[in-house]
Structure 1
Amino acid sequence: MSIRTRRPSADTISVTEFADPSTRTLLAGDGTTTLLLEAILRAPVTVRVREQHLQDAEELPPEIGRALQLPPQCRVLVRESMLITPDEQPVSYNRAIITTEPGNPLYPLIDDRHTPLGRALLAAAIEQHRQILTTGHRHWPFSAEFRAAAAKTYLIHMDGRPRLHLTETYSPDLFPADLEPAVCTSAGAIGAASNHTQEDNL
């Protein structure tokens, strides 16, 4: 079944516009994604780190720098990973931007490439607050052709400061990214009504 979207590239789509209830639950959750995924899938998930490197903050999109309140000429740690099921089916693709300033309680945990970040934070008993920035569609990176997938971007605050910017893109095989039919047809209906009005005025 094809993915129904209102526009070719949707950066922001409200959670309520997604048709699948599990997808809505995942996108709306403001707690540890790892535990929520395991509850929905009824199976454990593990992490596979694909890449991890330091990068100049000025190379990031400006909105990420603003969200993390990054000072000029600083560096961040970029971590790209995927969560997988016991049979190695991809569950999510994750891109994390982590601040490296002294005092970030998350930074010492990054050397562990075998534990998902959410579970590592819980194990370390680090107090945190998650702030959802956007939900919507992104390309599922494990597909050769474009395939829309549900995605969420959020910040994790620790000690009252944003320490981590995380974008999670969820497998459309497990979490359908289809939108409610009314959402998909509303734009077309408005356009049709507008055309009729213009014709009536001719």
Structure 2
Amino acid sequence: MDATALLVGNYLHSYFESPAAHEAFIEEHKDEIKSSRKPYKLLKPYQQAEMMIKTLDEDETFQQFYQGDKEVIVTGKIEGVPWKGKIDCLNLDNNYFIDLKTTRDLHMKYWDTDEHKYVPFVTKYNYQLQMAVYRELIKQTFGIECTPYIVGVTKQDPPDKAVLSIPDEQLDWALDDVKAGQQHILDVRHGKAEPTRCEQCDYCRSTKTLGDIISIEDLVD
């Protein structure tokens, strides 16, 4: 993952966690987020993050909705395998939790080579899998089943925003995918198996060697 994109996301998350958390984040990462020259302004990606924060902070519906405990640690086991997560905003009184996501454009389409159709950014980055795991861990930690929501905010000028839900069947399918695939992931981590290559992710690009010649007709799935 792009380190700057990760820091931008954490910059936004820390703001909505608490003023103290945001100040601590800025202090810890000041060399990465501010110019090295006077007047030491925020670099452009973090100026953009400030716009994203502003568009949510000034939205009355968001302020009413984003209520609950922040950055809650949840733990549990999925078919015997230990898992741990951190919930951005957990509202046990009203049985829901919220995850903040930044993205380029809420309406951008991505081609899914497995499903052979266009999908939204949530599906592209497997956020439904993350939400399914979080829902299960919350249930194991607190004994309460909560509905996940994603608050998406874009890097556009001005930013767009939306509260997004995920159909229950997609959450169920995602949890089934975790159960089906986690043993292979553990085997890869422990050196017992080789990863399944996709030839498109960061790992595959960094370890790729030239092999067969590819026709230009095969570049786009």
Tell me whether the two structures share a fold, i.e. TM-score over 0.5: no
| Structure with more contact order per residue of length (Cα contacts < 8 Å, sep ≥ 6) | 1
Greater share of helix residues, 1 or 2? Answer: 2
TM-score normalised by the chain length of structure 2? 0.27
**Going by fraction, where is strand more abundant, 1 or 2?**
1
